[in-house]
Amino acid sequence: MSIFDTIREKSEAYAEDTAAVLSHLVRTKSYGGEEGDVLKVVEQYCKQYNFDEVRFDGLGNLIARVGEGSRSIAFDAHVDTVEVGDPDQWTRDPFSGLIEDGWLHGRGSSDQKGGAASMLTAGRILKEVGYTGPYAVYFTFTVLEEDCDGMCWKYLIEEEGLKPDFAVSTEPTSCNLYRGQRGRMEIEVHFKGVSCHGSAPERGVNAAYKAARTVLALEQLNEELKPDDDGFLGKGTVVVSQVHARGPSQCAVPDQARLYLDRRLTWGETKELAVEQVKKLGEGEIERVEVPYYTKTSWKGTEYGQELYFPTWKIPADHPLVLAGVVAHKNLYGEAPLVDKWTFSTNGVSICGLHEVPLIGFGPGDEAEAHAPNEKLRVADLPIAAAFYAALPYNLPQ
């Protein structure tokens, strides 16, 4: 029996355990900045499964390791979730962790505690088969991704010095292999007018009208943005997500206005390009354009921050890490996985986009379940993901 047969059989044997772990994680609420309770649960499982190292970093990320190799690969899952939203849109308790008809229900099941549960089983398997390969295998359970994707890995690399040779994001991919995503950034656009009494608007300059004209120009810009050269990631987008205007009173012409933009960046689009595009289309109307700076205090009490710019990333289809992932899947299941990309953003913006660590994605669950009411995950995905994570270190370049 090959090592891959052993891994697959163990993963399938532990399928119910993996689902039970995921149910436990879903039942443990973990909004951004409040991940301490769920990470203590994860820590207990890491110790139960005899991981070689289990520790917290200064921000509150949990770092676990199996193996002693001189090179390293990191599997990442963020354990924070978005909030529930309108509870009336949920047909079940959002934190039930209920398993029913092949699905596990609850907030965070697909995005992305399913990846975390599968990582725990993968580490358990690697310990049981006595993994001694040339790669130390890190499992990172990270915080604050929903608030500021990649900031946790900015901390891991720049403050903790954990920069692996390769990385895998376990965000949902429907158990396909992903090799890229568009980047994103947030932009504030500010306008100034001159206030006057609302009974004589001709005496003032309406900042809201300036903003409105710019909104229409941004709608046109979104239509004109182009895809990347090879068409893999698709076109960039710009969305006006917030509009604010105010003046001295509700009976006055507003002298201030602000737009908030969500800008998705395809390959070749940069922060500087996106800012300049906005300035140009609002020339004569806009007072200033800014990329905001985000800060937050983690569950561990550490304040950290970064500019809200998240670089685009992709790696070639023939990159050694992509090829290793394809071979690992073939060794386990006899066929190659679909190779694709994410629509949304992940911690890859920091791992690969900013710090240039080669990264692939492979995760249980469907991307469309992320942030949706009645979020759920196919239970059958869990052993597939766990087996893939345990098998990949055996297929990495030696």
Active site members: 80, 145
Rounded Cα gap, residues 220 and 270, in angstroms: 19
Q: Is 288 exposed, middle or buried (0-12, 13-18, 19+ CB in 10 A)?
A: exposed
Which residue blocks in 83-206 are alpha helix, DSSP H?
Answer: 114-128, 151-158
**Residues 6+ positions from 173 with CB-CB distance below 8 Å:** 340, 342, 361, 362, 363, 367
227-256: burial string, b at 16+ Cβ within 10 Å, e else: ebeeebbbbbbbebeeebbebeeeebbbbb
Rounding to the nearest 10 degrees, give the CA dihedral for residues 153, 158, 159, 163. Answer: 70
φ, ψ for residue 169 (rounded to 5)?
-90, 135
